[in-house]
Amino acid sequence: MKNILEAPFMTDMIRTTAIMYDHGWDERNSGNISLLLEEDEAAEYIDTKAVLRTIPTGFSEPSLDGRIFLVTGTGKYFKNVEYAPEMNLGLLRLADGGRQAEVLWGFSDGGKFTSELPAHMMSHAARLSADPGNRVVLHCHPANLLAMTYVHTLDEREFTRTLWRMCTESIMIFPDGIGVLPWMLCGTNEIGEATAEKMKLSRIVVWAQHGIYGVGRDLDEAFGLVETAEKAAEIYMKTAHLRILNTISDAQLKKIADHLGHTVREGYLD
Ligand code: 2HA
Ligand code: ZN
């Protein structure tokens, strides 16, 4: 059996949590990440038949039955993951139609998975239907995107269009646009279902006055989506109160998308 602490999925996870903390996106114990692994990928490092503990999840997600995820722990600080991965992370397999989580490694202090497991698992299911290559769901609290949800309409077409106009890169990176949810209680199945519904059409979902979800085929892609949206939101917050002299027009946005051959979210450009 190979050393799980040297697995590429583990070193990627550790690097990503550390960088997110350094970006100020994950104050205290906030933020959470889940990474889908293939059974044989996990089996190189652990005995996937040996279940350490079984924890009820409080939801069902039959399409993910038997799937294995590396997940951040509830109450755990991203800044500590690199120093104690086995305590701050866990490897779990969904069982019984998603109603149970079988811990295969980690959560070594008796802890458990993130409180946002419903939103993560339901989003994985939604994205896997849209893109079978999706592996990552990532959540955090970047300040400029949050600030924007206090001063900008939450209409998701308008929210997306504003971010697209803030830098040329935006429409290149998220031509599918941004889903926006109004304030809702976090950690619940309701917000999980609402997030997953938005995830059918876009890979970024903003939770007003709370944070953002990004997904991707790997951690870099999910991180990069959040990074690009947050940069655009920062430019918005730096300029929204100033007299705007120049912008990127719809014709120019279309030119960017056409140049890259990207399909833009239907109806989002005039
Ligand atoms: O894990 O970010 O949304 C703490 C949170 C809850
Ligand atoms: Zn949060």
Residue 91 lies in a domain: yes
| pLDDT in the model for residue 38 | 97
Residue 241 lies in a domain: yes
Give this prediction's pTM: 0.97
- Structural domain including 78 reads 1-115
| pLDDT in the model for residue 258 | 97
| pLDDT in the model for residue 13 | 98
Q: What CATH number has the domain bearing residue 25?
A: 3.40.225.10
Residue 98 lies in a domain: yes
Nearest CA to ligand 1 atom 4: 30
What is the distance in A from the centroid of ligand 1 to the CA of 154?
21
Q: What's the distance, CA 145 to chain centroid?
A: 14
Does residue 5 share a domain with residue 53?
Answer: yes
116 is catalytic: yes
Question: Rounded to a whole number, what is the distance in angstroms from the first to the last CA of the chain?
Answer: 56
| pLDDT in the model for residue 119 | 97
One pLDDT digit (tens) per residue for the chain, 270 residues: 999 999 999 999 999 999 999 999 999 999 999 999 999 999 999 999 999 999 999 999 999 999 999 999 999 999 999 999 999 999 999 999 999 999 999 999 999 999 999 999 999 999 999 999 999 999 999 999 999 999 999 999 999 999 999 999 999 999 999 999 999 999 999 999 999 999 999 999 999 999 999 999 999 999 999 999 999 999 999 999 999 999 999 999 999 999 999 999 999 999
Residue 116 near ligand 1, beta carbon < 6 Å: yes
Name the amino acid, one letter, at 121. M
Residue 131 lies in a domain: no
| pLDDT in the model for residue 261 | 97
Does residue 8 share a domain with residue 111?
Answer: yes
Which residues have a Cβ under 8 Å from the Cβ of 20 and sit 6 or more positions away? 26, 31, 78, 140, 223
Catalytic residue among 116, 221, 227, 230: 116
Residue 124 lies in a domain: no
What is the distance in A from the centroid of ligand 1 to the CA of 27?
10
CA distance 224 to 203: 11
Residue 32 near ligand 1, beta carbon < 6 Å: yes
Assigned token pair, 198: 């938005």
CA distance 253 to 270: 10
Find the ligand nearest to 113 CA: 1
| pLDDT in the model for residue 259 | 98
Number of domains in the chain: 2
| pLDDT in the model for residue 114 | 98
Residue 118 near ligand 1, beta carbon < 6 Å: no
Element holding 140 (H helix, E strand): strand 136-140
